[in-house]
Structure 1
Amino acid sequence: MSTPQVRTGPQVTAADPKVSVWVSANAGTGKTQVLTDRITRLLLEGVRPERILCLTFTKAAAAEMATRLSERLGAWAVAGENDLKAEISALLGKPPEDDLLAPARRLFAETLDVPGGLKIRTIHAFCESLLGRFPVEAGIAPHFSVIDERTAAELMAEARNHLLGQAVQENSGDVTRALRLMATLLNEEDFTRLMTDLSSKRSHLRGLFIRHGSAQGVIEAARRAMGLKQGESAQSIIEEACKDACFDTQALMAAAEALLQGTPKERKLAAAFQAFLKSDISARCQQFEDVYQLVFLTKTNTGRKTLMTKKIAEAHPDGLQAMLDEQTRLITINERIRAARIFQASEALIHIGLRLLDTFENLKEARALLDYDDLILKARDLLQTEGGASWVHYKLDGGLDHILVDEAQDTSPEQWDVIKELAGDFFAGVGAREGERTVFAVGDEKQSIYSFQGADPFMFGHMSDFFKNLASNAGKVFSPVELERSYRSTKSVLRTVDDVFSHDTARQGLTFNNKPITHHWARDGQAGLVELWPTMKPGEAIEVKPWDAPIDRVALDSPEDRMARRIADTISGWRESGEELASAGRPIREGDIMILVRQRGSFAEKMVNTLKQRGIPVAGADRMVLTEQLAVMDLIALGRFLLLPEDDLTLAVVLKGPLFGFNDNNDLFPLCFERPGTLWAALKAAAASNPKYAEADERLSEFLGRADFMPPFEFYARLLGPEGGRRQLLAHLGTEADDPIDEFLGLALDYEREHVPSLQGFLSWIEAGRTQIKRDLEMGQGKVRVMTVHGSKGLQGNIVFLPDTCSVPKAQHEPKLRWVDDPEEALLWAPHKDQEESLTAALSEEATDKRAQEYRRLLYVAMTRARDRLYIGGWEGKNKPHEDCWYNLIETAFEGVAQDVTLASGETVLRVSNQQDEKPDGKPEDDVAGPGTPVTLPDWALQPPAAEPEPSTPLSPSRLSEDNEPTVRSPFDGDDGDRFKRGTLIHRLLESLPSISQGLQRAAAAKYLSRPIHSLDADQQNAITDEVMAVLENPEFATLFGPDSLAEVPISGTIGGRSVSARIDRLAITDDEITIIDYKTNRPPPINPDGVAPAYLGQMALYRALLRLVYPGRPVSCILAWTDGPRLMSLPDDILDQYAP
């Protein structure tokens, strides 16, 4: 075994299985190891594996933890005593007791025997298994299926269409009126986005419905939040505001007269002012917002700074005061008008939203479907029903005693509700007294970056306080632990991180206790570097003349392009010079490098393409939209042509693509130029004189001939497989096209399972879905990784580039829904930002602040992915970067700390670095070999597999021969009934009864045989019972049914080229001998082995041959146990040898 890793004091404390622990862990501090250590120590303490639940954020994290634990326990099972002691000593922080070693070795086998394995899974997977065990209690169909996001979106679209159809049919009602209002406020795209936002928050909406009792109750809560009276509307507020009694008409008329003496602009305002005051209420209402208010207010509902010029104001102070008073009144009125309109929009949204979600839920229920949100919500509801959690605990093999939560900062409030219910009785009542029961959570609020999935970093601290109070009230120990020692990054990287977030602006939202962010590095003396490049400035715009053809235009050398080239040049320079990664003592490899972007966009694609142009191996993007991949676009284009051959542009795309490889000048231009009809007609006409055209015509005609009747999967599978389409695509696009092609075929198969197969339907379906492919870039694979910061969470790179540091989140991407919490919960929707009133504006500002906080947490995650080197750059647009963008935050931290370094190119950069002062801590073989490393395949990989042995179906010794069946008694002898039923029952009893104490065996046999399903009368029951007990109570048979014997032992193997599968009735294994026992119920039995049927002898000979393979060199004896008698019959080897296979 390798040298055990020394744990720090906080790590040992965090893994203590006897106390509840809440761990706040900086990036790279080994939280996965702490989790693994804690599970291991729980098992060492004797906790049954099935009473431990570990919840992770991703399936990959669950798999990694399970693998680590399995590898550790597997190594312990075969480790030497000294090595095992050293491992356990490092784990416990003290030398182990000698009697702990044997149980430690057994842990591997014990965990393997747990049904379903250790409970290390995502919370969604756990909730799915929970609902699968308790579907009736949860109120769902037992045969439910879980749908992915794509299918959920399809169902939501179906629900939306159903809603719109109902509204057309009804032509009245709340929903119809709401839709008519929506149509004046939103376009179709915005409506779809709004419904998607509402769907993602449907648990909130359902909670409002439950709390307020009805849809009308939810609406009234929104009315109260807006401070409106019953029946109050924007129109009624305007009508009330226009009454003479609501303002001083005479004073305002005097002010208007004064304005007529002023500037032309003032005279124009005065005329509008006077016209309004002289009008009746109806006319005033029409002019109120568009004319009258603009005299006093700006469009943003703020007062105009200048109502009168100084000269007129001094001459008419009363007029100025009247206008100021009216301005104040109008600000208040306009606020109420906005509130009324927001309420009107919110009321429409609530009507539509509740109806839409009801329809959506009904569609899922009718088809027994659950989406990912349903798994959490229905599991929560199950546990929150009266007695629900207790019942679940009881049925889960007696319950759970220890719950561990990974990535706790990204756990949503609804998920915390599930965890709280599961752990609810750990600290109260009887549950608190049932031995040690603990809750463990590890997370880092600085790394909470999944708010779009419902994560709330504030909940991390809130839930810590919640469980701390529970433990304190129960007199239990609750330990908060902080892990600050990083094993990932070097001194320079961590110091830069600390410097960046030492400033108040940068630290906002990272922590909620105002504690300074501090990292301690474990990699002392290892070389590190952080470099800040100057931003790329936009160049001068190139004038494009209207008559320039696209191919004549010069591409703009954008800052993004130059940044991509800068990174590619840097990597190329390292490859050419053999730049060394000092901490590993070897040259830098492509797999060391990670390029992180804030969001997917054009830069990531440019970066990948630039690296490919330089010949630098690149793994491509971590996530891609399937229909935007070139290989898939070619396949879709072919399908579109087959649906409409007259589509010239689509056919041109197909012909130019990899499947046909037409050249623009030599092939396409002669075919297209001055053609009299369609391109398809021109291709067919030219096929007679040009072999290339003829080949294309032949292939396309064949495709057309089968596209109408062949299902999409079969069509594309044939095209890509036997017809070489995949090979052609990969030759042009590279091996990275493999994943999109496989996903495309998989979706074609999925489509056929759920829909009537048709090419047109499939193409429309796949283009509408915008399916994304998530690629596993955890391993470097000898290639540069280009990925988003979100995708890099949990990963690391020896060298990290951050090129996208000047962009900031855009407000238009924020959801428009506003959830009110105080004084009561309500839902509001302000369709337009410039029409928000004070409450929704405050909520909007709060959402903007939260978005900015997550933006800064994303920077923390990005910077802490780097192990050795971090290169930071950025590009500017037309406007200067936001003052709080990543680049500016880092540049501020570099002031007075970084050194100015002039590169060979003459460019000056800011650098923070430290030299290699110690022996490299990395292994030279770290990261996988580069793509240039030759790989030699073994000989067997290049040879066809051997033919399967005949017969391919395993041979069963019990059915070895149908010949020479043993004789049976005459039916006239009054036999006890069906011998097959009798034999089966005797076998079953001889298998089961030996595990029961001897005094209870006869009663158990009688109870079993009395079951109505066996259809036995009393005499038959007694006869079988007597026959079985005669065997079990016979002293001669005692050793055969002792503790060293096994019942119904399955065994399989290959003998003489034949596959054999068997089940031995009884097997006794000692150090000296193997004994095979086979029950026979024939009546009467033969007197000696010579009278045994050949089928039985062949069967036992096969058993003997199989056991000799398993236990070579150990004698194997065979015995037939005849139940009629009973008596044992040993079969001599010389007789069995005659039937040896």
Structure 2
Amino acid sequence: MSVATTTDNDMLARERALDVSASFAVQAPAGSGKTELLMQRFLALLSEVDKPERILALTFTRKAAGEMHSRIIGAIRKASEGCASEKLHEMKTLGLAAAALRRDREMGWDLLLNPGRLKVQTIDSFSSVLARQMPLLSGLGDYSITDEPEELYSKATERTIALVEDEGPDGGSVRSALGHLDNSVRALSARLVMMLGKRDQWLRHLERDITDEGMRALLEGSLKRLVEEELRDVAAEFPEGLEGALLRSARHAAKNISNEKSAIPGLSGLERLPGTEAEGLPLWKGIQELLLTGKDGWRKPKGVNVKLGFPNGDPFSAAMKKEFQELLESLSGNEKLLKALGRVRALPVPEFPEEERETLFALMRLLPVAERELNRVFAEAGKADFQAVALSALKALGTEGEPTDLMLALDMKVQHILVDEYQDTSQTQLSLLEALTRGWTEGDGRTLFVVGDPMQSIYLFREAQVGLFLRARKEGIGQVRLIPLTLSRNFRSSERLVEWVNQTLGPAFPVDEDVFTGRVTYAPSEAARGAVPESAVELKLLRERDDGLEAGHVIAVLKRLPENESAAILCRSRAHVDCIVEALKDNGIRFRARDIDPLSERPVILDLMALLKALEHPLDRVAWLACLRAPWCGLALSDLHSLCVGDVSTPVRELATDGKRLNALSEDGRRRLSGFVEKTGKALSLWGRRPPSEVLRGLWIGLGGPGAAGDEGAMNDAREFFKLLKSVEGPGRASMAELERRIEDLYSGGGSQDAALEIMTVHKAKGLEFDNVIIPGLGKGPRNEDRGLLIWLERDRDLLLAPGPGTGKEGSVIYEYLSGKMREKRELEEMRLLYVAATRARKSLHLIGHIKEGGDGEIVATPRSFLSKISRAIGEGRFIERTGEGVFAGCALTRTRKRLPLSWELPEPAPPVHVDGVEKSVERTEPEFYWAGETIRHMGTVVHRYLCRMAREGLVEWGKGRIEGEEPRLKAMLRSLGLGAREAGEAAREGLRTLLKAVSDPRGRWILSKRDGAGTELPVTAVLEGGITHMVIDRTFVDEDGARWVIDYKTGAHEGGSLEEFFRSERERYRPQLEKYELALRKGGEKREIRKGLYYPAHAEFIEVK
């Protein structure tokens, strides 16, 4: 297809997607402008509906919802201001926004003043709203939603296993499950916790009152339908003209083969191709064995021999052998039949053996018991997880036969639904969409619009089923048929990058689609940007795995990149970049790591945990020895041996005071041990009487912990540790289990928050883009998956399920078959993961991986590695040769830690700060209006207070009606400040206009929205210029890119003169004040990039002060 044709098709698809009378499923590859298309569709719908609430847009993340909402409002605002653009896509958006604005004015919506009327939500938040509207029916009640439900899962699991003594069926199920796992409570507990975290996937299939026979019919029926579909595929692919030759060859081989384990003898009476019923499976397995090798390739004609049932000898045998060889020659190019036959080998007989069936039934009875206990734990804690929200939302909507009042109300209210990232939809989320569109019919004016990219579906571990996207394009969703559309223009990447992805990654995708396994075909893209001179794709190879050499090349690439361009190192797993992170530090290259370095693995945290355990448990020998080895004590291994040799029971602290053992130590060891014992003794005397965090911090500092930490990143990690410890400590004690659990969930904030280089996993990079992308570790394979209590897959509405293998046992035939299917799903997703990684780049892409030599000297990639996906491109790669030393000489993953010298002493406290005078040192915190009259000054003060209140409470609570309803309160506040009735009334109305402008301004909403690390009217005290300075920061928060913003509100209005000149002078006027804020935050330990700004709500103007 020519470029012109591709472009035309893309433009037609985008135009077609704006037909608000039809429903669509749009495939939007990486960089194709998916968010803008969604926004345009939303704007087009706004120009048609009678209420904005008729439209519901659902996304998967708060960030995506916020971005879409902001862009819709921003487009309407630009249209209201008469903005124009020369770019075609922006012209289109402004035209749609203008039409939406006309409808807005016609219907009196005032969306710029009431942006909350636009329903753009995450699926989770929408589900929560549904569930809370019918708390009794949904069962959710007034629960808070937790992001960390593991502790609740563990408690429910403990209660479930405690039923082991129960004489009823629940106790029997627990005993059966334990017996299956060699009576390991730990193994059962771990598996139940995992299963509870995925209960939305299995709960819908397990009716609590189902009988054993009902379970058997359900599971074996599902398996039987799958087997029969696979057999139909084989039968459909077999050439009719070759059927006779196959049957004659099969009968001949069956009579002559001597292998008793073979399935071929069963073909002796074959007169026609076997039927496609499950009963014919053994015959198909015989045919598969006859035609294919053990590696599922076509047999070679020369390999036909007596072992296969074709002996030499008489003319008849020779003729049969020749006919079979000719048959193999005829079939050798039939790839579809080859794949279909290859799948037959693993197909299980759709019947569970009795022992496996009993185990399975026990586990299936146990899971609802665990779910029941979890619901009780939720009720006691007043908390629930997101799965409880999703399941409760479905309950709140009722069923097709018995819809609830809420469902009927929604059916009347919502007429158009848009869904972003539909390729990541789960079966539970699909059920929600089906419920919402229940009763919709073609031509009734209601539409469904889903957009996504199956090539970017990479969340299988969250039950994302890319097959649901494929099915939606073919069959629709519920009762709604969808018109499939595909975009093809890439507005992100350079022409060179797009060509490389098309030519290299495209052929690595499957050639056909499959809903069940998630096989996705490749949709090529066309670059919209054209050629970029400095654009490049580079594939570098290593002759063997050498993490140091790979890290060295990454450093070399980074040093060549322009300083003003963004860059990202993307990895498949965190372990793939350990060496690179160390090399970056050694070379002084600043970077920002996103969830790469687990906090629990940081040396400073390991040392602090050991010290905490030593104080909490004086008999914990491992903890005490770890403390003696830590940098603050630093005993040599020989001294540790001398201290403990011959005694495995005496507490280490007692050994440390044993004179004979002390004499056996080196002089250095005695001195180090003496200081440690003295300081820990003081801490132990306070343990249980003072808060653990306070005692531990004092001991750590006294031992020299900060001096041994190594760098500022380690100090930040230590601060995070003490903060966590304080949050879990009770009276004199700390919850060790809770502390360890929380630490396990966190990552070090190491690195520079404002660095141009970022390091993250590919999953974290989804939705982001960078000028330059480096993908190391292409030659490394994925880690092995854990085996669960059960394995299950969903196929249409069928449940395929088998019990996991018992402790030390192999899995059953059915289990191994389902494991193979799951493995196939993961391998298909791995190709999509590489596609996501490569398409993050705008200008350059650098790929690095190691290969190995096969037995015949052939260069091959590690199975299931990224490099194995693009093995045909290996020939284009260039080898990295080892030259010189530095990081090229290797990367020590076990890094030497330096102990504190014996001469180290706790530094003297800093001298007291000289303060010239308290009055001079107090920073003015009230809004400045000295230039204004009394009315304006007081109005500004009140508006300032309201802006802070809005930020604290969240903008969801502050629509136009709520703000206008505050007029009496504003007037009363102004009267209390000394204004007369008339002046107070005028000032109150002006204040309302200013507040309404702020909440309708996209930048204002960005500032006032709830955010991470947010503070409103944040008091800060610092020593600045020789004095104690007290300040109050109006608004501070951390944005999506990790930068901390410091913003002051300026509520006055400028009249007369140039606004541009006014804002320029304001920037210079308040620069010193904002710089003081920044300096104070730095002194308080803030390490992120700090950005500063002024916000003028009366003008809807934001000024960044650089």
Distance verdict in 2 for CA 1:813–1:86, change over 3 Å: closer
Pick aligned residue for 1:379 from 386, 393, 403: 393
**How many residues end up aligned between the 2 structures?**
796
CA distance in 1 between counterparts of 2:513 and 2:731 reads 51
- Aligned residue number for residue 713 of structure 2: 735
- Aligned residue number for residue 159 of structure 1: 156
Q: Check whether the contact 1:799–1:866 (CA below 8 A) recurs between aligned residues.
A: yes
- The aligned amino acid for 2:838 is M
CA distance in 2 between counterparts of 1:1060 and 1:726 reads 58
Distance verdict in 2 for CA 1:593–1:140, change over 3 Å: closer
- Aligned residue number for residue 143 of structure 2: 144
Pick aligned residue for 1:533 from 530, 537, 540: 540
Q: What CA deviation, in whole Å up to 9, does each residue of 1:299-335 have, x standing for no partner? A: x9x9xx9999999x99xxxxxxxxxxxxxxxx99x97
CA distance in 2 between counterparts of 1:12 and 1:1052 reads 53
1:417 aligns with 2:431: yes
Pick aligned residue for 1:566 from 547, 553, 558: 553
- Aligned residue number for residue 65 of structure 1: 68
CA distance in 1 between counterparts of 2:743 and 2:405 reads 42
Q: What CA deviation, in whole Å up to 9, does each residue of 1:363-413 have, x standing for no partner? A: 223444321111111111221346876632666696223322111100101
Pick aligned residue for 2:527 from 517, 521, 524: 521
Q: What CA deviation, in whole Å up to 9, does each residue of 1:93-125 have, x standing for no partner? A: 86997995795899996255355x643332112
1:1048 aligns with 2:968: yes
CA distance in 1 between counterparts of 2:97 and 2:111 reads 20
Q: Check whether the contact 1:389–1:422 (CA below 8 A) recurs between aligned residues.
A: no
The equivalences for 1:950-969 within 5 A come to: none
- Aligned residue number for residue 372 of structure 2: 358
Larger Cα-atom Rg: 1
Distance verdict in 2 for CA 1:343–1:398, change over 3 Å: closer
Identity of aligned residues (%): 22
- Aligned residue number for residue 746 of structure 2: 773
- Aligned residue number for residue 581 of structure 2: 608
The equivalences for 1:3-18 within 5 A come to: 10-18=13-21
1:745 positional shift: 4.7
Q: Check whether the contact 1:627–1:770 (CA below 8 A) recurs between aligned residues.
A: yes
CA distance in 1 between counterparts of 2:476 and 2:704 reads 56
CA distance in 1 between counterparts of 2:176 and 2:637 reads 60
- The aligned amino acid for 1:52 is I
1:167 positional shift: 1.2
Q: What CA deviation, in whole Å up to 9, does each residue of 1:777-797 have, x standing for no partner? A: 999832432221112111122
CA distance in 1 between counterparts of 2:393 and 2:350 reads 42
TM-score, normalised to structure 2, is 0.61
1:757 positional shift: 5.1
- Aligned residue number for residue 217 of structure 1: 214
CA distance in 1 between counterparts of 2:109 and 2:606 reads 49
Q: Check whether the contact 1:486–1:522 (CA below 8 A) recurs between aligned residues.
A: yes
1:407 aligns with 2:421: yes
CA distance in 1 between counterparts of 2:60 and 2:399 reads 26
1:801 aligns with 2:774: yes
- Aligned residue number for residue 751 of structure 1: 728
- Aligned residue number for residue 290 of structure 1: none
Q: What CA deviation, in whole Å up to 9, does each residue of 1:634-669 have, x standing for no partner? A: 3322211212346566456446657xx445679999
CA distance in 2 between counterparts of 1:57 and 1:103 reads 28
The equivalences for 1:780-929 within 5 A come to: 781-809=754-782, 812-813=785-786, 815=788, 816-819=790-793, 825=799, 827-831=801-805, 839-875=814-850, 881-882=861-862, 885-893=865-873, 898=876
CA distance in 2 between counterparts of 1:623 and 1:344 reads 43
Q: Check whether the contact 1:499–1:893 (CA below 8 A) recurs between aligned residues.
A: no
Distance verdict in 2 for CA 1:713–1:947, change over 3 Å: farther
- The aligned amino acid for 1:132 is R
- The aligned amino acid for 1:493 is L
Q: Check whether the contact 2:593–2:750 (CA below 8 A) recurs between aligned residues.
A: no
The equivalences for 1:1028-1043 within 5 A come to: none
- Aligned residue number for residue 174 of structure 1: 172
1:50 positional shift: 3.4
Q: Check whether the contact 2:44–2:96 (CA below 8 A) recurs between aligned residues.
A: no
TM-score, normalised to structure 1, is 0.59
Q: What CA deviation, in whole Å up to 9, does each residue of 1:210-231 have, x standing for no partner? A: 397346632564477789xxxx
CA distance in 2 between counterparts of 1:493 and 1:88 reads 23
Q: Check whether the contact 2:22–2:447 (CA below 8 A) recurs between aligned residues.
A: yes
Pick aligned residue for 2:573 from 599, 616, 636: 599
CA distance in 1 between counterparts of 2:589 and 2:508 reads 41
The equivalences for 1:939-978 within 5 A come to: 946=923
CA distance in 2 between counterparts of 1:509 and 1:726 reads 61
> SS in structure 1 opposite 2:970?
strand
Q: Check whether the contact 1:412–1:456 (CA below 8 A) recurs between aligned residues.
A: yes
- Aligned residue number for residue 199 of structure 1: 196
- The aligned amino acid for 1:147 is T
CA distance in 2 between counterparts of 1:65 and 1:726 reads 50
CA distance in 2 between counterparts of 1:19 and 1:778 reads 49
CA distance in 2 between counterparts of 1:1063 and 1:745 reads 54
Distance verdict in 2 for CA 1:894–1:524, change over 3 Å: farther
CA distance in 1 between counterparts of 2:109 and 2:702 reads 48
CA distance in 1 between counterparts of 2:978 and 2:512 reads 69
Q: What CA deviation, in whole Å up to 9, does each residue of 1:751-786 have, x standing for no partner? A: 35xxx5563x52232225663236899998324322
CA distance in 2 between counterparts of 1:437 and 1:667 reads 78
1:503 aligns with 2:507: yes
Q: What CA deviation, in whole Å up to 9, does each residue of 1:850-884 have, x standing for no partner? A: 12111111111111122222122223589864456
CA distance in 1 between counterparts of 2:980 and 2:747 reads 45
Q: Check whether the contact 1:28–1:486 (CA below 8 A) recurs between aligned residues.
A: yes
- The aligned amino acid for 2:125 is A
Q: What CA deviation, in whole Å up to 9, does each residue of 1:906-931 have, x standing for no partner? A: 9xxxxxxxxxxxxxxxxxxxxxxxxx
Q: Which runs of 5+ in 1 are unaligned?
A: 1-5, 228-261, 267-299, 315-330, 473-477, 539-558, 581-586, 907-942, 951-956, 958-1043, 1075-1107, 1114-1141
Q: What CA deviation, in whole Å up to 9, does each residue of 1:419-464 have, x standing for no partner? A: 2222334537xxx75xx43322210011111111111001012234
Q: Which runs of 5+ in 2 are unaligned?
A: 1-7, 225-257, 261-293, 297-304, 315-344, 855-859, 885-919, 928-934, 936-963, 993-1050, 1057-1106
CA distance in 2 between counterparts of 1:689 and 1:776 reads 35
Distance verdict in 2 for CA 1:493–1:643, change over 3 Å: same
Q: Give the superposed CA RMSD.
A: 5.6
- The aligned amino acid for 1:849 is E
Distance verdict in 2 for CA 1:454–1:665, change over 3 Å: closer
Q: Check whether the contact 2:23–2:447 (CA below 8 A) recurs between aligned residues.
A: yes
Distance verdict in 2 for CA 1:113–1:837, change over 3 Å: same
CA distance in 2 between counterparts of 1:742 and 1:609 reads 22
Q: Check whether the contact 2:397–2:435 (CA below 8 A) recurs between aligned residues.
A: yes
Q: What CA deviation, in whole Å up to 9, does each residue of 1:457-499 have, x standing for no partner? A: 0101223445478456xxxxx5433221112212222222112
CA distance in 1 between counterparts of 2:100 and 2:127 reads 38
Q: Check whether the contact 1:89–1:96 (CA below 8 A) recurs between aligned residues.
A: no
Pick aligned residue for 2:467 from 458, 468, 477: 458
Q: Is the deviation greater in 6-15 or in 616-625?
A: 6-15
- Aligned residue number for residue 997 of structure 1: none
> SS in structure 2 opposite 1:523?
coil
CA distance in 2 between counterparts of 1:336 and 1:18 reads 46
Q: Check whether the contact 2:571–2:777 (CA below 8 A) recurs between aligned residues.
A: yes
Distance verdict in 2 for CA 1:361–1:563, change over 3 Å: same
1:144 positional shift: 1.2
Distance verdict in 2 for CA 1:336–1:859, change over 3 Å: closer
